Structure formats: structure tokens, C-alpha cells
Amino acid sequence: MASNSTPSYLTGFGGHFATEAIDGALPKGRNSPQRPAFGLYAEQVSGTAFTMARHENRRSWLYRMRPSADHRPFIRYAGAAGFRIEPGPQPLAPNRLRWDPLPEPPPGTDFIDGLTSALFNRAPAELDGVAVHLYAANIERSDRAFVSADGELLILPQQGRIDLLTELGRMELEPGWIGLIPRGVRFKVLLPEGSARGYLAENYGAPFRLPDLGPIGANRLASPRDFEIPLAWFEDRDEPTELIQKYGGRLWTTHLDHSPLDVVAWHGNLAPSRYELARFNAIGTVSFDHPDPSIFTVLTSPSDVPGRANADFVIFPPRWMVGEDTFRPPWFHRNVMSECMGLLTGAYDAKAEGFAPGGLSLHNMMSGHGPDVDTWRRASEAELKPHKIDGTMAFMVESCWPFEVAEGVLGRAQPDYDAAWADFPKARLS
């Protein structure tokens, strides 16, 4: 049994929710009763250690038709040849790198086999670091489910809508939205438009949270109430299903005789969520000087060093530029964070040429970067009247750990990216 009605949502990032698809499925007053209603099985999924501080503890109780432990041994999965995070044989030079969008995948490529790893740092077993992948699919496989034991997944559609069927409910994602799936949560991907492309960030470290706001105060950047959490939904299918699990940086597969998405009710604060990027309240200068890009942070995964992120998810949305006597694009800079950038739509204001939607760039720590020559010249000579940057959405996955480049992707980098900073005129001192 699976309903085809439009998904419904709860609201509030990090909230504690209780939801049931069948009345009476959710126990009252306890988590694991002796005999759960309808013969369901109680199961806790924990995204943090049991003894984490209350405000950081993430867990949910699921009430499902079969225990998730009911499966045969996993074996290595032979598909998804591009979904690997092994570095190349040579050390990565500290060069700026940029890539065009990936070519179209072969016909019959589903979401899992259409995943291509691009950038990564650390290792999943270290419980630190982040990887950036790309996905491209042109066929859906309702007989397959996927789960990452290595990290939580941030999905950023770039072309085409995808429907996510998860253990805890259903979410619709289209370009302009993001979806966040906790580590260990199983899901399927459907393609209502027949094909889809986008980005996938995999966070090995502390779960993403909303950043502290400091002097900004209590309100905005991204508002907690704008994050939507699916209501309980379940799939009652006694049909063969392949479950593919990412574990230790590799893919493993097992086969079930039923759907693993059979959670009838759940409660807790570990749950998938979606967010519309247009709801982000961009903050910028109203006097002079372009502010640090940290003011565009949507989600952050902290490291062990206060103020230094294991991973930040940052966006550059439509916004007004009004600063007086100000170089308005991002200034030239070098910093200890390593920056992976992608473009969802439009053009990026610091580099209007050579960076296409679906593309990717990498500026590792202390690599000098900033606007290209043409952007610098236009910004230096522009009449500084109020101007709106519109029709664009770029993003950045930033990390305190330098990125490595997956071996299969390194050779696809644009050969002339350094030329973006060639031919700047020398300053004249007299």
C-alpha cells in the first residue's frame, strides 16, 4: 500500500515531532512498549552518540512493519563506477580548479548509478569531513533503495524534480529547494519529469544545524520555521527490493523481499527536511565594504574548534547591492577554509564567464581567488547606484579540511581556469 496523494509536512528545523500514518500506531507515554500496536516493531535510529548534550542529541523512534535488521548479508555493489572517493596517485597541487557540467549519462541510468564523486576530504571512518558528488539520472527504479551510513546527505536539484520516498515520509524537491536526509535513513528517488541532475553533499561530521546568529540577533538568515519535515507515510510492498548502502566509502548491496520504507509512525528530532532557498533572508552592506561570505550560511556542521566549520553550506541568492564607494563583488582573498562552489541557475556575479549551471569549482585553503579580470574592471568602473543581482543561485560547500579530487574527475578540469586572473594591470604609484 502506498498513497499517491501530495505529501504533507510539519515545520521547524530540529524540532521534536510525533506523526502517525495510521491512528493508534504511535505509542503513548513510552518508546518501546511490550506489544506495540498492530504488531509493529519499535526501533530507535540515533544520529549522535546517546550521551550528547540534550540540545545536540538527534534521534527518532520508528514503528515499522518489520525490523530493519531483517536482511541477508551485504556484498559489494558493482555499479556506480563514478561514485568513489579515492584520490589520484599523485599529490594534488594547490591549483584553482573548475569543471564544466558533466555530460549526459547513458540511457537507463538511475540516481544511484548516476552518482559521480568530485571532491572530498577526510575519511568517513574519522566522523569528520565532507564530500561533494554530482547526480544525473534518466530512469527511476522503484525497486531500489539507498542509504548512507557514512554521512547525512544534502541534495541540491539543478535540473528536474525528484520525489524522495524516505522511511519517515515523502518529500518533493525541485530546483530552488534543498533536501536533507540524516545519516542512516533509507530512501528511494523517483523522477516525475523523466530525468534530473544536481549536486549531493555528504557530511561525515557533526549533523548540519542552523548557524548561531551572534550580533544579527534572534531572527533570520534561514528561519527554522521554513524547514519542512514530512508526515509519516509508509510503503507496504511485499516485492523484491534491492537495498544499496554506502559504508566506509564503498557501496554494498543486499536484497529484501519487501520495501524497507515501512515505518507507520515515528517521533523524535532526527528526520528528513526540505527548504526553499528563496526564503533565505540575504543580509548585505548598506554602507560600504562587501561583508564576509559567512552571512550567507544556511547550514553549518561545526568542527572541534569553535568557530571553524567542518562544513558550511552557503548560498549566493538574488540580492540588492547598494554600498557606496565600494568594490561590490567578493574581494580578492586567501583563507584557511577550502571552498567548493556550484551553480544552480543563472550566472555567478564574480565570474560571469566559464562557470555554467551544473559546473563546479575548487579553491583550496590559501589559494588566491576572487573576481576575474572582466568582473574586476566592470565593478571598478561601474556607476554605484542601487543594483539587484537577480536570476541567480550559486552555492558553496566550505570546509576547514582541504579537498582532494576524485581520480576520475581531475582530468576533466578546465585547462585554462588560471587565465581568469591573467592580465590584471599593474598598480601605478605615481
pLDDT at 72 over 70: yes
Mean of pLDDT values over 262-290:
95
Q: What span, in angstroms and rounded, lies between the C-alpha atoms of 1 and 113?
A: 27
CB 348 within 8 A of CB 329: no
Read off the pLDDT of each residue in 167-187 and give the average, rounded to a whole number. 98
Confidence tier at 228 by pLDDT (50, 70, 90): very high
Tell me the catalytic residues: 290
Average pLDDT over residues 33-60: 96
| Coil, helix or strand at residue 149 | coil
Percent of the chain past pLDDT 70, that is, above it, reads 98
For residues 283-301, give the mean pLDDT: 92
Q: Provide the b/e sequence for 288-326 (b: ≥16 CB within 10 Å).
A: eebeebbebbbbbbbbeeeeebbbbbbbbbebebbbeeb
Question: Are 117 and 131 contacting, i.e. CB atoms less than 8 angstroms apart?
Answer: yes
* pLDDT (0 to 100) of residue 211: 96
Domain boundaries, the chain: 72-263+271-276, 278-414
Report whether pLDDT(88) > 80.
no
The reply to whether the predicted model has a pTM over 0.85 is: yes
CA separation for the pair 379, 201 (Å, rounded): 32
- Range 278-414 classified under CATH 2.40.160.20: no
Task: Dig out the grid coordinates for 410 from the structure.
Answer: 581531475
Q: Would you state the torsion angle of the CA atoms of residues 87, 93, 99, 105, taken in this order, to the nearest 10 degrees?
A: -20
Per-residue pLDDT of 125-153, as tens digits, reads 999 999 999 999 999 999 999 999 999 99
Q: What is the pLDDT of residue 302?
A: 96
Mean residue pLDDT of the chain comes to 94
Task: Please report which confidence band the pLDDT of residue 330 belongs to, taking 50, 70 and 90 as the band edges.
Answer: confident
Nearest Cα to 423, choosing from 389, 391, 390, 376?
376
In the numeric block, which cell numbers belong to residue 140?
A: 527511476
- Taking 60 as the threshold, does the pLDDT of residue 1 lie above it? no
Query: Residues 6-29: what's their mean pLDDT?
Result: 96
Question: Per-residue pLDDT for 2 more than 60?
Answer: no
Find the mean pLDDT for residues 271-293.
Answer: 93
State the CB neighbour count (10 A cutoff) for residue 422: 9
Q: How many CA atoms lie within 13 A of 409 on its CB side?
A: 31
pLDDT tens string 332-382 = 999 999 999 999 999 887 666 788 999 999 999 999 999 888 889 999 999
Q: Which three cell numbers stand for residue 196?
A: 534530473
Same fold, 72-263+271-276 and 278-414: yes
Q: What is the topology classification, in CATH, of domain 72-263+271-276? A: Jelly Rolls (2.60.120)
Region 278-288: mean pLDDT is: 93
Q: What is the mean pLDDT of residues 101-119?
A: 96
- Stretch 210-236: mean pLDDT: 95
